[in-house]
Structure 1
Amino acid sequence: MSDVDSRGSTVRAAGAKTLAAYLREEIASGRLSEGAKLPAERLLSEQFGASRGAVRRVLQDLKERGLITQSVGSGTFVRPGAASTFPARIRERAEPPPEDQTSPAELMEARLLIEPLMPRLITRNATGADFAKMIECIERSEAAQTIEEFEHWDGQLHRVFALATHNSFFLKILELTNRVREQGEWGRLKARSLTPERRKEYEAQHREIVEALRDRDTDAAVKALTEHLIGIQHNLFG
């Protein structure tokens, strides 16, 4: 095996270990609650840098431990009572402090205050590579076959917006945002509110935002992004 292959295998193995540890901790803490649906294997593979085979082995191990259930055509879900299978000391260690808990409603309030600040930096600092990543996220989200896949690429697009500011503060904020989006409550709200019509609306808004950013039209980008976030907030909470 070449050095390149060896390094690649090492990275994939590390990714599988990280995925296994992440899922165990999320289930033990209750952040992945009973009945919560896990992302598709392909998304887990991309997010953690693990091969599809490694992801399947991690999920099979969790299944054998009684932590998840799998149904062909439906997906992978956290099994009822899964958290209680962990010793109390592990559940307590995994449980985040109360001040670290952010509700979806609080998240949207914060996003409406913070994200509309980003276009001013994006129109000044973004590169061609940044815009190419935005287009890739849009195309992948539009091609998504499931809500989970669409939500993943939606989140990645907003992360690319943060990266395109070339300001580390915004990237840290969006990392916190995605932590909340990974919680079960956000997923349930999004699944309930994301009708095919609303998804088409979000996709059109994404393209409008990116088009304004590529034109270096700050005011238009701020307006489009703000309207997009207000629409999400209304659809989620009424």
Structure 2
Amino acid sequence: MSLARPLRESILDQLHSGQWRAGDRLPTERELADTFGVSRTTVRKALADFKQQGLIEQTVGSGTFVAQRAGTRMGQRIQHDSSQHTSPADLMEARLAMEPAIIELAIRNASASDLQRMDACCDEAEAAETLEAFEHWDAELHQAIADAAHNSFVGNVFGLMKTVRAQGDWGQLKKKSVTPERRLAYQAQHRQIVGALRDRDAVRARELTLEHLLQVRRNLLGY
């Protein structure tokens, strides 16, 4: 184990928990070195890394402080780490639980521009000349439906799911599983879901969303 690991983990824990907030002064290099039993050179290297990540700021003669945007940076870091360790099976499980559940919110809050955005995503997906482009607009459609709920937490969660879909494992499975016939089926299902949302038919939109996701899971994972 790296000698700097306990030091790094402790600093990240303090930032993540909010015990150290923007503008707070960190202990001195000497204090950190003594606390964690490492050299001041090791401390400097760790702090340099955190400074590069935008988590801390250093002022000659004044010390080291938590950066103003440290909270935002930590959120991005956590999101990135989470997406890197999410399997396609875990993602599908989450999608099956969450996407049908937000339909009522989307129907209640969707504006005309939200529905136009969904139509545009369908148009782009149908016109896509590559699987990668189709997958991009497929993900954008599901994000558009989530954003139509006009709930920032829901939007952020779906943003994370979209990030996971951009990872290599999901892409490889999609390449293996999406035939021209299946792509056409997905496109038709997307249009039906958007149509039900436009009609404000919560029951049908939820059923169509669940059926679509179950078919995607069968095609991707075989069950």
Short-chain TM bin: 0.5 to 0.7
Question: Percent same amino acid among aligned pairs?
Answer: 49
Q: 1:145 to 1:117 in 2, by over 3 A?
A: same
Greater Rg, structure 1 or structure 2? 2
Counterpart pick for 2:195 among 205, 211, 214:
211
Q: Separation in 1 of the partners of 2:81 and 2:119?
A: 38
- Residue 206 of structure 1 aligns to a residue whose secondary structure is helix
Equivalent residue number for residue 226 of structure 1: 210
Cα pair 2:100 2:206 within 8 Å, conserved: yes
Aligned residue pairs total 148
Cα pair 2:83 2:160 within 8 Å, conserved: no
Q: Which runs of 5+ in 1 are unaligned?
A: 1-89
Instruction: Establish whether residue 138 from structure 1 lines up as the match of residue 134 from structure 2.
Output: no
Deviation at 1:179, TM superposition (A): 1.3
Counterpart pick for 1:148 among 106, 117, 132:
132
Deviation at 1:100, TM superposition (A): 5.6
Deviations 1:87-144 (A, max 9, x none): xxx9xx99x6589610000000010001101110111110100000000000000000
Q: 1:155 to 1:99 in 2, by over 3 A?
A: closer
Deviations 1:160-202 (A, max 9, x none): 0011001112111111101111111100000110000000000
Counterpart pick for 2:102 among 118, 121, 129:
118
Q: Which amino acid aligns with 1:186?
A: W
CA RMSD of aligned residues (A): 2.2
Deviations 1:191-228 (A, max 9, x none): 11000000000000000000000000000000000000
Q: Separation in 1 of the partners of 2:97 and 2:161?
A: 13
User: Please, what TM-score do these two structures have when normalized by structure 2?
Assistant: 0.63
